[in-house]
Amino acid sequence: MLKKLLVHEWKDTWKLMTILNAAMLVVALIGVMVFNHDNLDKVMSAEKYQFGTMMGFMSYMMVYVVGIGVLAVVSTLFFFIRFYRNLYTDQGYLMHTLPVTSNDLMLSKTLVAFVWKCISSFVVTFSVAILIASMMEGGVSELFRSIGEGLRELEISNGKAILFILVFILLGIGSMLFSIMKGYAAISIGQQISKNKVLASIGIYIGISMAIQLVTNLLTQSLIFGMGAGIDKGLFANWEPTENTLLVIYLVAALLTLAASAGLYILSLNFMKNKLNLD
């Protein structure tokens, strides 16, 4: 039944998400065609067009950055609203009486939202890459050369670079899942309130965000304080941070984010399974 839920969830979400992602690519392609290296070179060498070109370029960049923000906000809101409407309003009477488990319902919503977040992240990364590459004299090859140079400057060895990429992917997956689960958990808890469920969910969402921020700050401060105390006592006299230190920090952050996402998933599922409160 999970497969069927996934198919229907996909059918109900692909249109809007495809339009949003396609729009983002179109904006990037316009930038590639108008502000590529050859065009910029030609215009900038003719002095009289310099100001207009700069203004046009800045306006475009503003639209482009706002576009990335709109894609992120609208797609996130779209999945939150869909989750709420589909499971906790009148439509919930159909969804919760289907011969499926609560876990199937939750998993289908989470997986489809996650896949779309991955696609959007890829689209944004790809659009940024083609935009930057088009502005460079050597194009894509120059972009890759610059990235390699940057990594060398950070003194990250080839073998470690792959590990860093893997850890960053893990961190990205954790962050995307966390952003989805934060909303789903807030909505699932918020529906317990008899009136103003949406407002309650927004309040809980803000509350969860603040709590996570607080925990992160406390952990960071404890780490800094602990390190400071250690340095005072001469514990780190012969210790120097290396690339491994960074790798471990990112790995811990990724694992914590994944654990927090799993915690919010279980919490949401528990509310859906045991405390369903349809009007």
Partner 1 sequence: MSTLVQCTNLTKCYPNGKAAVTDMNLTIESGHIIGLLGPNGSGKTTLIKMINGLLKPTSGTVLVEGLLPGPESKSIVSYLPERTYLEAQKTVSDIVDFFEDFYPDFRKDRALEMIESLGIPSEARLKTLSKGNKEKIQLILVMSRDAKLFILDEPIAGVDPAARDYIIRTIIQNYNPEASVLICTHLISDIENILDDVIFLKNGRIVLRAGVDDIREKVGKTVDQYFREVFAC
Residue 98 near partner 1 by CB under 8 A: yes
Residue selected from 47, 48, 51, 99 as contacting partner 1 according to rule CB under 8 A: 99
| Of positions 31, 67, 92, 183, contacts partner 1 by CB under 8 A | 92
18-27: burial string, b at 16+ Cβ within 10 Å, e else: eebbeebeeb
Closest CA to 265 of 146, 185, 203: 185
Cβ–Cβ < 8 Å for 81, 202: no
Residue whose CB is less far from partner 1, 93 or 122: 93
Using left for φ > 0, alpha for ψ between -120 and 50, and beta otherwise, residue 104 falls in alpha
Angle subtended at Cα 192 by Cα 190 and Cα 197, rounded to the nearest 5 degrees: 45
Binding mask 44-83 for partner 1 (x = CB under 8 A): ----------------------------------------
276 binds partner 1 (CB under 8 A): yes
Q: Which is nearer to partner 1, 53 or 91 (CB)?
A: 91
Instruction: Select from 100, 119, 129, 161 the one that contacts partner 1 (CB under 8 A).
Output: 100
101 binds partner 1 (CB under 8 A): yes
For residue 79, with 0-12 CB atoms within 10 Å meaning exposed, 13-18 middle and 19 or more buried, which class applies? buried
- Which residue lies nearer to partner 1 by CB, 90 or 240? 90
In whole angstroms, the minimum distance from the beta carbon of 89 to partner 1 comes to 9
Minimum CB–partner distance for residue 24 and partner 1 (Å): 24
Q: Output the six-digit token pair for 190.
A: 């918020």
Q: Which residue stretch of 7-15, 43-51, 158-166, 196-204 sits at the interface with partner 1 (rule: CB under 8 A)? A: 7-15
State the minimum distance, in angstroms, from the CB of residue 274 to partner 1.
6
Please tell me the distance from the alpha carbon of residue 39 to that of residue 71, in angstroms, as a whole number. 28
260 token code pair: 């927090």
Q: Considering the rule CB under 8 A, would residue 97 count as an interface residue with partner 1?
A: yes
| Contact partners, residue 132, CB within 8 Å, separation at least 6 | 143
Instruction: Give the residues lining the site for partner 1 (CB under 8 A).
Output: 1, 4, 7-8, 12, 86, 90-94, 96-101, 274-276, 278
